[in-house]
């Protein structure tokens, strides 16, 4: 398989965790980076120059079926011979911590879109490609699909009425897909990030002193471990804190 | 308070559990029954004749904001002096156990609508009414809001990719509302029904021998216990099996 | 069954929750109260005079097999014709919040004894009696066995290294017994009390202002609801907060 | 730190998972292998000849305080300059799936000894050594303490009344220690092995065809990932299935 280009697709790419995941995957994979603001926002990601530019394909997608269909068509044209075998769903919830009665149905719907609908659509695009792969000779996986979760994936605090439902739903999707597609050779995992990630945005808001924050590169190391887990002992869920 | 009419609102009323809940509440409450097919389907509910007809108000609602606004306006006209202090969200998921790749985004969206959007909208209608109540002299509650859950609220099986996300999300909403409104005197609970309810529909499909099924009247007894719990020791979640 | 004396056995009886549970059961059951300090400490329980004295049998037991065998022999002599059909395991952990390295193996062992060994021994004494009963005509239960849990039954905080293991273990026992004996007609439940109970002892230490504390009588109401649940819809676990 | 000998202590070593963990750690660590039957049973472990014999210290311990004190004294004499910075508690429960009423208190106690008392004692021996270390320059950890869990750590089936309590208790201990010692630089993790490990013993009982079994070497890869996790993003719990 050394001659086959391996491709990882990351949806929800901004400066922060997804950039670190991209870096950590870049030694083995070509990268398809997707977000609402890409490709325009690509320079802001500050990807290291060690990643060859022709190993990156940045495309626009808001997680909708139509935008993903377009992106996967572009991907197929760009790297027609590639093997897509990693997918990361890393779309953040847009924070809204108003009281429930100060929120609108629209806030819940926004939370559900980024929480689970985009994850569903990405999975619909990736799983047929994964299933058409042969098992990876090292791990035995036809593909690896990882979802990023949060504290509010497990516990819904009082201010999280519009955010937690989508994150609980994302976790449900990851469980269901793991049970359906695990036996078919697809590793589906859910990573619960139980704390604040020390991104540029967070530093801007909360200051530099991030001793208790999770470092994006440190989190990415575990994503990479999950991608490399052998088939007989896959992790469905873990926490990072 | 003996002279005040107490009103319970149940959304998702069909023959089965909701009818049993209605019966169990009818000795203390007037009933507002809501579902997509009401009021036409009222005769099919087989409500016992012991419930006075003028204690029942059956209205149409599909859980949308607009249908609920209409229903609550009708309710206010019908019983202008009543105290609305119980709400039950009992909308079932429409079963679809196809494999994930045989499902459409539309299936997920349907699951989210019945799973959590309707629950959100009912809560938006009820909570302001609850908060305007004085505490019940016996229980200390300004209102009680109960959500019906299922096995798939906790664990998403391989065929439940379009159903479990909405039920996980419903559970998240119940947790968040309990934490926000519990301190304000509103009891929010989540009832996980971990098995098959022995309804007429189930008997038709699976036969009469329902020894291992949950009886609707037995489940309703626990809903009633939850409605009557005193404020210092409220249950947020329980299972029934 | 009206002519048969029904008997409830409570292990871990002190002034507080167990007294309230005893009161709530006393209208239907004769009471066997067990603790290390009984029968001497009986006057300190402040049981209401409405409970006839000859409906109470107070005996000493520390939860050991030998003390329980003795107690059940005494019980059998005292009420030879009775039907033992309720058991409550309510033994508290003796608090020790030292740091782990300031604790001894002995502290862990003490936590395990009160946490799970006593619960095991009580279950060994009660279950054969339950299984020999006919089903209760109202609930269908041959017996009801309830275990009191706590916040630390689910989450082990940093200071709870010697206490949480026993409470986690108690929860495991309740689950296992529910799965083994539920199909045989025995209801096994676990009540997670997620907060501080407003007992005399707590009032002495922390003051009277217990607005956020759980009232023992309010908790007992839910124990009574569990005892009365019909067989098709039993609760295995609930929280009170 | 390249000149300092790093030492990993594994308690509960038999042919199977612990041997694979030993192999995976042997490139960076000297190994202290502890079990009831060691050092006599060392040849049966079939450790690969690639591990230098003088990198292995096999000692007897049944998990008791006294046996561990002896073992750690021997360790200190053997490698007086070493840095002990990894501990693995991997003691198996001795299976006993009898019905509850066919079990004795002794069965529960045995489950608690291997489930949690040995884990407590190992932690008491290791944590002071860890706390005296400087942080590892790569991971920032003063030490890593991993506990092996199982399906029955989370759910207690009907036949697991004497086994699950000890495993629930082990999980509680791991949580409590993580919360107390994480902020002090010690990584405490709990690995839930949700399935059957394909050991020689299992092959003997259940046959060779272990497609659905977890391979010990595959599991060990994840233990190694946990040992190498950087401090800002530690996993407290993960499953392998």
Per-residue pLDDT of C56-98, as tens digits, reads 999 999 999 999 999 999 999 999 999 999 999 999 988 899 9
d(CA B218, CA B85): 22
Residue of D nearest to C64 (CA): D105
Q: How many other CB atoms are there within 10 angstroms of residue D58's CB atom?
A: 18
Mean pLDDT of A95-107: 96
pLDDT for the residue B179: 98
Instruction: List chain A residues with CB under 8 Å of B171.
Output: 156, 168
Q: Are A11 and A63 in contact (CB under 8 A)?
A: yes
Mean pLDDT rounded to a whole number for chain D: 96
Q: How many other CB atoms are there within 10 angstroms of residue B232's CB atom?
A: 22
Q: Are D174 and C168 in contact (CB under 8 A)?
A: no
Instruction: List chain D residues with CB under 8 Å of A193.
Output: 233
Percentage of residues in chain B having pLDDT higher than 70: 99
Max Cα distance, chain B (Å): 57
- Judged by 3 or more CB pairs under 8 A, whether D touches C is yes
Binary contact (B239, C238; C-beta < 8 A): yes
The distance of Cα A78 from the centroid of its chain, to the nearest Å, equals 21
3-state secondary structure chain B: CCCCCEEEEEECCCCCHHHHHHHHHCCCCEEEEEECCCCCCHHHHCCCCCCCHHHEEEEECCCCHHHHHHHHHHHHHHCCCCEEEEEEECCCCCCCCCCHHHCCHHHHHHHHHHHHHHHHHHHHHHHHHHHHCCCCCCCCCCEEEEEEEEHHHCCCCCCCCCCHHHHHHHHHHHHHHHHHHHHHCEEEEEEEECCCECCHHHHHHHCCCCCCCECHHHHHHHHHHHHCCCHHHCCCEEEEC
pLDDT for the residue A205: 87
Percentage of residues in chain A having pLDDT higher than 90: 90
Binary contact (C180, D156; C-beta < 8 A): no
The answer to whether residue C167 scores a pLDDT higher than 70 is: yes
- Whether C172 has its CB under 8 Å from any CB of chain D: the answer is yes
| Residue C147 φ then ψ, to 5° | -115, 135
pLDDT for the residue C2: 54
The answer to whether residue B1 scores a pLDDT higher than 60 is: no
Look up residue B70 and give its two tokens: 């209409």
In sequence order, the β-bridge partners of residue D145 are D87, D188
The distance of Cα B110 from the centroid of its chain, to the nearest Å, equals 18
Nearest-CA distance B54 → chain A (Å): 32
Residue of C nearest to D99 (CA): C180
Nearest-CA distance C64 → chain B (Å): 31
DSSP string across C109-168: HHHHIIIIIHHHHHHHHHHHHHHHSPPPTTT--SEEEEEEEEGGGT---TT-TTTHHHHH
Percentage of residues in chain B having pLDDT higher than 90: 90
Binary contact (A221, D229; C-beta < 8 A): yes
Mean pLDDT rounded to a whole number for chain A: 96
Nearest-CA distance C77 → chain B (Å): 37
Residue of D nearest to A211 (CA): D232
Quick one: DSSP state of residue D47?
Answer: -
Binary contact (C179, D170; C-beta < 8 A): no
pLDDT for the residue C128: 98
Minimum-distance CB partner of B234 among C213, C231, C240: C240
In sequence order, the β-bridge partners of residue C80 are none
DSSP string across D103-139: --HHHHHHHHIIIIIHHHHHHHHHHHHHHTSPPPTTT
Q: How many other CB atoms are there within 10 angstroms of residue B60's CB atom?
A: 16
Binary contact (C173, D165; C-beta < 8 A): yes
pLDDT for the residue C1: 45
- Cβ neighbours for C95, distance < 8 A, ≥ 6 positions apart: C163
Q: What is the pLDDT of residues D140-170, one digit of tens each?
A: 999 999 999 999 999 999 999 999 999 999 9
Closest CA to D119 of C159, A238, C162, C154: C162
Residue of A nearest to B166 (CA): A169
pLDDT for the residue A1: 45
Q: What is the pLDDT of residues A47-93, one digit of tens each?
A: 999 999 999 999 999 999 999 999 999 999 999 999 999 999 999 98
CATH code of the domain made up of D6-240: 3.40.50.720
Minimum-distance CB partner of B176 among A127, A156, A181: A156
Mean pLDDT rounded to a whole number for chain C: 96
- Whether A73 has its CB under 8 Å from any CB of chain B: the answer is no
- Whether B33 has its CB under 8 Å from any CB of chain A: the answer is no
d(CA C98, CA A120): 48
Q: What is the pLDDT of residues B160-207, one digit of tens each?
A: 999 999 999 999 999 999 999 999 999 999 999 999 999 988 998 889
d(CA B178, CA B240): 20
Q: What is the pLDDT of residues A158-180, one digit of tens each?
A: 999 999 999 999 999 999 999 99
Band the pLDDT of D2: cuts 50, 70, 90: low
- Cβ neighbours for D64, distance < 8 A, ≥ 6 positions apart: D118, D121
Mean pLDDT of D12-22: 93
Q: How many other CB atoms are there within 10 angstroms of residue C131's CB atom?
A: 14
SS3 A131: helix
Query: How many Cα atoms sit within 13 Å of A49 on the Cβ side?
Result: 0
Look up residue C231 and give its two tokens: 């067989």
| ipTM exceeds 0.85 | yes
Q: What is the dihedral of CA C44, C48, C49, C54, to 10 degrees?
A: -80
Residue of A nearest to D227 (CA): A222
pLDDT for the residue D205: 87
Look up residue A143 and give its two tokens: 């593909």
Q: Are D147 and D170 in contact (CB under 8 A)?
A: yes
In A117-156, the residues whose Cβ lies within 8 Å of chain B are 117, 120-121, 123-124, 127-128, 152, 155-156
A78: exposed, middle or buried (Cβ count in 10 Å: 0-12, 13-18, 19+): middle
Band the pLDDT of A2: cuts 50, 70, 90: low
Residue of B nearest to A103 (CA): B124
Instruction: List chain A residues with CB under 8 Å of D234.
Output: 240-241
- Whether B184 has its CB under 8 Å from any CB of chain A: the answer is no
């Amino acid at each position: 398989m050394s001659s086959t280009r391996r491709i990882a697709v990351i949806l929800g790419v901004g400066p922060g965790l997804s950039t670190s995941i991209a870096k950590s995957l870049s030694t083995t994979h070509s990268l398809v980076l997707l977000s609402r603001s890409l490709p325009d926002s690509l320079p802001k990601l500050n990807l290291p120059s060690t990643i060859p530019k022709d190993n990156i394909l940045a495309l626009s997608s808001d997680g909708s079926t139509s935008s993903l269909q377009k992106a996967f068509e572009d991907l197929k044209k760009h790297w027609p011979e590639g093997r897509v075998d990693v997918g990361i769903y890393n779309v953040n919830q847009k924070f809204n911590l108003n009281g429930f009665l100060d929120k609108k149905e629209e806030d819940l719907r926004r939370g559900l879109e980024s929480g689970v609908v985009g994850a569903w659509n990405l999975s619909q695009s990736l799983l047929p490609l994964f299933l058409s792969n042969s098992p990876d000779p090292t791990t035995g996986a036809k593909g690896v699909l990882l979802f990023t979760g949060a504290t509010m994936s497990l516990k819904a605090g009082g201010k999280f009425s519009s955010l937690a439902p989508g994150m609980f739903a994302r976790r449900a999707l990851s469980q269901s897909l793991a049970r359906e597609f695990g036996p078919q050779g697809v590793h589906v995992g859910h990573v619960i990030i139980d704390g604040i990630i020390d991104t540029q945005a967070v530093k801007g808001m909360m200051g530099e002193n991030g001793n208790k924050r999770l470092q994006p590169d440190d989190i990415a190391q575990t994503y990479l471990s999950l991608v490399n887990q052998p088939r007989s002992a896959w992790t469905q869920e873990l926490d990072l804190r």
